[in-house]
Structure 1
Amino acid sequence: MKKIIISFLFFVLCFHLGSAQHELIHALPSKLGLNETYIDQKVDSIMEMGIKNEAFPGAQVLVAKNDTIVFHKVYGFHTYNSIQPVALNDLYDLASVTKITGPLPALMKLVDESKLNLDVPFSTYWKPWRNQKDKKDLTLREILAHQAGLEPYIVFLQKVMRKGKLKSRFVQQSPSKKFKGQVYDTLYINHRFVRKMDRIINRSEVSDEKKYVYSGLTFLIFPRLIEQITGADYQTYLQDNFYGPLGCHTLGYLPSTKHYANAIVPTEVDTLFRKTLVKGWVHDENASLMGGVSGNAGLFGTADDLAKIMLFYQNYGAANGQQLISEATVKEFTTVQYPENENYRGLGFDKPLLNNAELPLEEAYPSPLASPESFGHSGFTGTFVWADPVKKLTFIFLSNRVYPNRDHRKLYSLDIRQALQDVFYKAGGIQPKN
């Protein structure tokens, strides 16, 4: 308790001195009207149950009320051998949370600047689709809302392997002029392979039925589209326009090349592709084959960094006295686009189920107490972020549920994330809207 109080006073002092403009403010839950005892008991119980049932070897939960961190606690270990405990500043493979923290803020800014239009054909900007009969008329709005009928996922790994072995023309064990993109410690991808990926995407089928089908295909394209429109390197653009101004110190790609002091949480023991425990390199195979920098996956970050970017969204584009993206644009992207088609998604953002408030916890997504205006995203590796601009509650859950393999799915079947999020709504006496 003394440590928490000292930490809180330190952050308050720094804030008033103006020396921690980009740092998060911390306070005890009770200072924000939340039942501290209830939170501690419930969260500890849920997390211990998750670890006991091997939903994950370890995880952490961070919650902000208003713009203040009221809870940040770690549980368990990096792996089931219980050697390295989870730490508050650990780096996690964010998986599909990358979609809303990597390309999406850039796309929002470009829409803001009228450099992208949501309602003209995507082929207006992406030339390879102009001659694709089934793709040339698809709009960016349809694509971002997963309403375009695109294939959900293409396993590009099949193209670089034959009979369980890597094809040397695509992957080699040392870098060269042609093999620059790093896939893992001693694996490098041919720079031409991305062209092959593009050709396969171009030829992929598009459903005539326009309904909600989640697809990450265009997120493989978005970083290059952003570079094409801005004339800037994708990673540099994100750093200059978002991560730097928000004070996200570790959020980025390829953490193994950056020599952070932070420990990196491992993901899966890969028996097919990399033949080892994946740690410090992106877990998603498609992002890996793009050299680790992609729009569908590849970002790593800490809970603090994710809190900063989600609070930025929760405040509709405002952070540290700056309006980085207009309020109107953020509201547009975080609004359900096609409810008449039973599609509950926003533009890039995940949203509550359309009848979420009426559902029991085990059927709801996320907590049934989350407001209809709330939004976020989940990641395959066991990550989940959510912001509620009405209830002023930001929720971050980070785990490596795919350790030692992706068959560990109890994070989902035990409704752990919804249950945890529910605790913080109930702790403040927040009730769903009638």
Structure 2
Amino acid sequence: MNKLFFILTGLLFINAYCQEDTPIALNINKEEGMSYTPLSKMGIDSTYVYSKVDSIITNGIKNNAFPGAQVLVAKNGTIVFHESYGYHTYNNIQAVANNDIYDLASVTKIAGPLPAIMKLVDNGKLNLDQPFSTYWKPWKKIEDKKDMTLREILAHQAGLVPYIIFLNVVIKKNGKLKKRFVRTTPNFKFKKQAFDHLFVKNNFNLKMYRMINKSKVSTEKKYKYSGLAFLIFPKLIEQLTGQSYERYITEHFYHPLKAFTLGFNPKTKNQTNKIVPTEIDTLYRHTLTQGWVHDENASLLGGISGNAGLFGTANDLAKLMQMYQNFGVLNGHRFISEATLREFTKIQYPKNENRRGLGFDKPLIKNAELNLNEAYPAPEASEQSFGHSGFTGTFVWADPKHQLVFVFLSNRVYPTRENRNLYKLNIRGALQQVFYKALSTPKE
């Protein structure tokens, strides 16, 4: 069989998944951080923390889990640890810096469409238990989709297929891109920029929606992770708010949070932060992907999507996660109601062996009873905690019980997504556990 077929089929293992939007000017040169308190002033053994973290990260770099990474931890609303390690690539030229911008991959799901959805629930424009077809009209006439609720979709309980590889539609058998979908120069029909010298047809999103409409739905209602609806959410947000998806979340969340680096397509923005490279793409873009979204589906929608495409720094992610941990408030500004955030961050279908919240990931059921190698995330993470991971090697987690925000950023897909040692070595869980143990046993 054709080699390309195997390559594209292999993409089925990708945990990464779009929506057109117009770029907006963002002030992302200015980084306004959360307050910082040294570990020692918190009564924590900083020597223990630094030695443990250094050991785990160094082992990861040594075993090619990633060329570099950074860890940010906030306790009681103040940053107590933010360190960078290694380099952007294995050539050891550009060292990782704390203000570097990363492709956040599926962390986009809880940092992009989800805050907007929560606000729309607050405003009475969305109801979790109404059929999603009430708002997304094309599903009204689709028998296996017309009755599924937004709650089921957000908890990955609706039976939707995990993903569709839309790249199969635009690549010929010989590996070349079909000109009716992707061009190397823009014109009035091809305005969505997917990469340097790659422009996607403006209405390609409609083809994606049609393919999603035709996708099968499992009759067995159980946990199955799916990113399909997150491709639809940006257009839905646009329809319900009258603003573009990117503008809405920027004006209502990122700018009030002073999280100025959070945004899409940073290659097109006027900013000075270094952007960490992701993968050397051998299939679609045939070069290093940097400053453009790694996820192929998001790329085919011009880089602005609900499943992936968001970029940002650890500091700005920490602000968003701190707001979530505070149940909707940061620096005296209420973004989302406490009731809504508590609803979204609680486990929805525990009796169905589904650990998920609404959009948010949660610890494994009975996670505290597991050892580190079996647990997700660290066994010490409380049942109230929540977060999300990203395919490129990103991870964010908030724990209201312990007042602990944990952010881990890496580019584990460099130079290839075949690098899976980040998972095999359980680096994120091990790092998270260091802080739980240190914070629970303060220095005497």
Task: Report the TM range for the smaller structure's normalisation.
Answer: over 0.9
Number of matched residues? 412
What SS is found at the alignment partner of 1:246?
coil
8 Å Cα contact 1:369-1:430 kept in structure 2: no
Q: Which residue of 2 aligns with 1:143?
A: 153
Structure 2: unaligned runs, 5 residues or longer: 1-29
Q: Does 1:50 align with 2:60?
A: yes
Q: Which residue of 2 aligns with 1:319?
A: 330
Q: Indicate whether 1:393 and 2:423 are aligned.
A: no
1:266 corresponds to which of 277, 281, 292: 277
Structure 2 distance, partners of 1:53, 1:120, is 48
- On the 8 A contact 2:230/2:306 being kept in 1, the answer is yes
Distance (whole Å) between structure 2 residues aligned to residue 289 and residue 85 of structure 1: 31
Q: What is the match of residue 12 of structure 1?
A: none
TM-superposition CA deviations, 1:109-157 (whole Å, max 9, x none): 0001111000000000001111110000000000000000000010000
Number of the residue aligned with 1:6 = none
Q: CA deviation at 1:35?
A: 1.7
1:127 matches 2:137: yes
Q: Distance in 1 between matches of 2:292 and 2:250?
A: 20
| Partner residue in 1 for 2:111 | 101
- Shift in CA distance, 271/92, structure 1 to aligned 2, threshold 3 Å: same
Partner of 1:110: 120
**RMSD, matched Cα:** 1.2
Correspondence for 1:14: none
Percent identity reads 67
Checking the alignment, whether the CA contact within 8 Å between 2:31 and 2:259 is kept in structure 1 is: no
Given the alignment, which residue of 95, 98, 102 partners 1:88?
A: 98
What secondary structure is seen at the aligned counterpart in 2 of 1:165?
Answer: coil
* Aligned equivalent of 2:436, options 418, 425, 434: 425
8 A Cα contact 2:31 2:260, kept in partner: no
Match of 2:423 among 401, 412, 418: 412
Deviation of residue 31 (structure 1)? 1.7
Q: 2:185 is aligned with what amino acid?
A: S
Aligned to 2:236: 225
C-alpha separation in 2, matches of 1:21 and 1:127: 41
**Partners in 2 of 1:130 and 1:22 — Cα distance?**
45
Contact 2:44 2:441 in 1 (8 A): no
Normalised to the residue count of structure 2, the TM-score between the two structures is: 0.92
Counterparts of 2:50 and 2:435, CA distance in 1: 10
- Take 1:174 and 1:215, find their aligned partners in 2: how far apart are those partners? 33
The residue number in structure 2 matching 1:201 is 212
Distance in structure 1 (CA, Å) of the matches to 2:379 and 2:43:
21
Structure 2 match to 1:177: 188
Within 5 A, what are the aligned runs for 1:206-285? 206-285=217-296
Is the contact made by 1:21 and 1:320 (CA closer than 8 Å) also made in structure 2? no
Partner of 1:25: 35
How far apart in 1 are the matches of 2:178 and 2:154? Answer: 34
C-alpha deviation, 1:384, in angstroms: 0.2
Determine which structure has greater relative contact order: mean sequence separation of CA pairs < 8 Å that are 6+ residues apart, divided by chain length. 2
1:367-406 → structure 2 map (5 Å cutoff): 367-406=378-417
Q: C-alpha displacement at 1:23, in angstroms?
A: 3.4
Contact 1:223 1:295 in 2 (8 A): yes
Does the aligned pair in 2 maintain the 1:317–1:326 contact within 8 Å? yes
Cα separation, 2, equivalents of 1:388 and 1:182: 38
Compute the TM-score of the two structures, normalised by the length of structure 1: 0.94
Counterpart CA distance in 1 for 2:261 and 2:203 is 30
Distance in 1 between residues matched to 2:42 and 2:400, nearest whole Å: 16
> What one-letter code is carried by the residue in structure 2 that aligns with 1:108?
M
